Chain A
Amino acid sequence: MSKYVIRRLLSMFLVVLIVASATFFLMRFLPSGPFSREKALPAAVIKNLEERYHMNDPLWKQYVDYIGNLLRGDLGPSFKYRDRTVNSIIKDGFPVSATLGAVAVLLAVVIGIPLGIWGALRQNGWQDNLVMFVALLGVSVPNFIMAVLLMFIFALGLHVVPAAGWGSFRQTILPALTLAGYPTAFIARLVRSSMLEVLRQEYITTARAKGLSEHLVIFRHALRNILIPVVTVLGPLIAAVFTGSFVVEKIFAIPGLGRYYVTSINDRDYTTILGVTIFYSALLVSMNFLVDLTYAWLDPRIRYVERKVS
């Protein structure tokens, strides 16, 4: 097992390094640069800026320096926010996005799984149709529509929660609901279909033949097996939701990390583009690793050991 973990960690490191390198060179192919301004900067000022950010070094040297700093955990200064480093941008933004993301994922799991089971157990009944309709809405309604709808109904109409801003629990409710929409619907559909599949398995028939109550059949035998696909999608989902959403953060004025994934590219803020991309990919591969470890716990047939050849 430890051998497997070491091998995985090494390959994860490699993946992140490749992502970092590819991003580093690809973003330089973008037209325009970080010092393009509506009021054109004097050449001397551009030269000073380039020196400040080591942009006048040859590209290979910039790359080597960047990777060197990266290995030391230093993501460099932001090109756009002159008082800040990319580390501080992530340090400030990620906890906010992650808090919101955690609430959203929790909502998605707590609502999505029971909905899916309910639908599967009443396959083709009105309950099933209702679940599928809700799921269809959740998947197809874009989150900016959802955000505005929720804001108008609950904040401006009923005055039960604040419309926007950050700092109190009440302010997390609307953005978390908005963020939870898609994952909830996705999980509900996934659970429904895998439940339908599991219910046709022979071991379920056996369990039923044993005379177990339907409750026990579902919760002891079926549930554990439908969790495997759920856990599989949960990994990347957590990575995506925890790093924030541009749209949701913008609409609800939330100081999260999500906005930087879009604004840094528009601003050609090279170090921030790299920093947030690397952070996201590191989180993504870590989540996938965790998912794989969880498989072993969920399904005793999956074991990460070297197979002994007898």
Chain B
Amino acid sequence: MRKVLSLLLVTALLFGAMAGARTVTAATVEFRWNNGAEPLTIDPALSTGVPEANTILQVFEGLTRLDKNNNPVPAVAKSWTISADKKTYIFKLRDSYWTNGTPVTAYDFEYAWKRALQPETAAEYAYQLYYIYGGEAYNTSINVDGKYYRQAVDAKGNPVTKKEGDKDVPVADMKKEIDPSKNVGVRALDTKTLKVYLASPTAYFLSLCAFPTLMPVCKAVVSKNASWTKDDLKSYITNGPFKAISWSHSEKMEFIKNPTYWDKANVKPDKLTYYMIDNESTALIQYQSGAIDGSDTVPLSELPALVKSGDCKVMPYLGTYYYSFNVTKKPFNDVRVRKALTLAINRSAITLKITRAGEVPARGYVPYGIPDATSTTEFRIAGTENFYKDNDIATAKALLAQAGYPNGKGFPAFSILYNNSTRHKSIAEAIQQMWKTNLGINCTLKNEEWGVYLDDLTALNYQVARRGWIGDYVDVNTFMDMWVTGGGNNDTGWSNKQYDADIAKAKVATDPKVRMKLMHDAENILMKEFPIAPIYYYTHPILLKSKVKGLVVSTLGFVDWKNATISG
């Protein structure tokens, strides 16, 4: 009798447990995430930073998506063919729908890309579409009475401007009209076929197709309603895994699984809530009190403890923190001085004692995590992995002596410029001390407000400055093309003909091996000339409850919630 009873009890328990399990699986999967800041826009064409991308990439989907290894995989495009010269792409679109139920067509892509390029849209990231034939010309054209013209150039190739009041106004070349319907290399051949013609072979174009600027927009809605992203979200028609349902500015944004998304069966979360908490400590308190499941920001002071407890996960990040030298000013015009200063930095002391988020001391410029000629090799490892020894004081001293400053004697006074931030200040103080004790060089620290700091960088109004670079896409070009002569982000005054030639050749190279060889050559030049002193490769620490699985954080810092689940 007892046996029967216990058997009954066990069965009852099992049933109970199963019923319980069923309610657990049926429960909605919801995540509350701190986006770290209010997105400046939710319009993909206007998107700029990470908070914007992290919003837009949940609700939009481009031709491709990046998988968890950062490789482009088919998304709205189900397949594509690439011409032998690597310049023409034909994308075949799958059947997919906008949140208003209308189909996503190739015309929507054509419209969206041309809209991002149109000068009047004033998209900051329009240059992500300069790879398309005619893209740059259209974006930089001049609108005269509703038609677009190239800017006139004089015999030497310099752009022509005229004085209008106190401003220089570009002059249009009335013989060179640009017709965006013909002269821009993107065209819908039919509703499901998109033809893209590139200006030059671009190895990473398929990755770019997953970037916010290249998301499609619903032509029928956006072309009629200029304020489609404003306020109540009623006109915010999207095609991604999630659908935005509410936006309370500077507070939170709510998303649900998009019922019209083509791959909705594989979207795991039912609901997402983004909070816009910009104070890292507040975000941590909210996390600890259980109000959020994760955060894109972590307070620096709490990092080691949070990493230890498993609450902070350190994600790889495509970025390099470095110091740049103004090579137009003495004594930094001497490569021996630049190299001596570069070698006399103890990078591991900085990453272990100051930044403390698993950063890797940089002994090259391009960070880890970028593929080389084949996707199985890494750029950083394929070439010279390390160009110098960390904290190589003996060599540094010898170089400085050769340059005429033995033991730092007679070294002119200079300052390290950085923008207001505790992190930059601590690092600058450490480096100031290292240069003093290792080389006998004295320098002062100069901190400036963000905008002023940027202006001084551009105007080369500094000697040594703290800087950082985060990749725009997963290709070595995003790090390399900035150092060409006169590059918009060069800001060192450094110029090297061989370097410029290598980068120019790499841009048109169709063979990945040749292209990567040129890139390695260019980096070799950079690391022989030292216009910059690399310090460390960034990491991306985030807060995340251990029960959250499957969240993909790309090396560009973008999160993808599509496959996120709760376990345990």
List residues of chain A with CB under 8 Å of any chain B CB.
30-33, 36-42, 44-45, 47-49, 51-52, 56, 58, 80-84, 88-89, 92-93, 151, 155-156, 162-167, 250-256, 259, 266, 268
Complex: how many Å from CA A92 to CA B277?
17
Query: Which of B127, B170, B281, B288 interacts with A42 by CB under 8 Å?
Result: B127
Contacts of B43 in A (CB 8 A): 82-83
Contacts of A84 in B (CB 8 A): 230, 249
Complex: how many Å from CA A259 to CA B277?
12
A31-B455, A32-B451, A156-B289 known, 10 other contacts, Cβ within 8 Å: A36-B451, A41-B124, A45-B122, A45-B139, A48-B121, A49-B124, A52-B122, A164-B282, A253-B282, A266-B451
CB B503 to nearest CB in A, in angstroms, measures 17
Judged by DSSP, the binding face of A is loop
Nearest A-chain residue to B454, judged by Cβ:
A36
Complex: how many Å from CA A85 to CA B286?
30
CB B32 to nearest CB in A, in angstroms, measures 11
Contacts of A256 in B (CB 8 A): 250
30 contacts between A and B (CB under 8 A): A32-B451, A36-B454, A37-B48, A37-B124, A38-B454, A40-B454, A44-B119, A45-B127, A47-B140, A48-B122, A48-B139, A51-B119, A52-B122, A58-B166, A82-B43, A83-B43, A83-B46, A84-B249, A89-B249, A92-B250, A156-B288, A163-B285, A163-B291, A165-B291, A253-B251, A253-B279, A253-B282, A255-B249, A255-B276, A256-B250
Complex: how many Å from CA A255 to CA B277?
9
Contacts of A259 in B (CB 8 A): 250
465-492 of chain B: CB within 8 A of chain A: 468, 472, 488-489, 491
List residues of chain B with CB under 8 Å of any chain A CB.
38, 40-43, 46, 48, 119-124, 126-127, 136, 139-140, 165-167, 169-170, 229-231, 248-251, 275-279, 281-283, 285-286, 288-289, 291, 449-452, 454-455, 458, 468, 472, 488-489, 491
Contacts of B230 in A (CB 8 A): 83-84, 88
Does the CB pair A250–B451 fall under 8 Å? no
Does the CB pair B451–A40 fall under 8 Å? no
Sorted nearest first, the 8 A-B pairs with minimum C-beta distance are: A32-B451, A44-B140, A255-B250, A255-B251, A52-B122, A82-B41, A40-B488, A48-B122
Does the CB pair A37–B449 fall under 8 Å? no
Contacts of A250 in B (CB 8 A): 278-279, 282
Complex: how many Å from CA A162 to CA B119?
47
CB B124 to nearest CB in A, in angstroms, measures 6
Known: A51-B119, A162-B289. A42 touches B488 (CB 8 A): yes
Does the CB pair A47–B170 fall under 8 Å? yes
CB A249 to nearest CB in B, in angstroms, measures 9
Known: A58-B165, A81-B40, A84-B230. A32 touches B455 (CB 8 A): yes
Complex: how many Å from CA A51 to CA B118?
12
Does the CB pair A164–B285 fall under 8 Å? yes
Known: A31-B451, A37-B454. A51 touches B122 (CB 8 A): yes
Nearest A-chain residue to B38, judged by Cβ:
A81
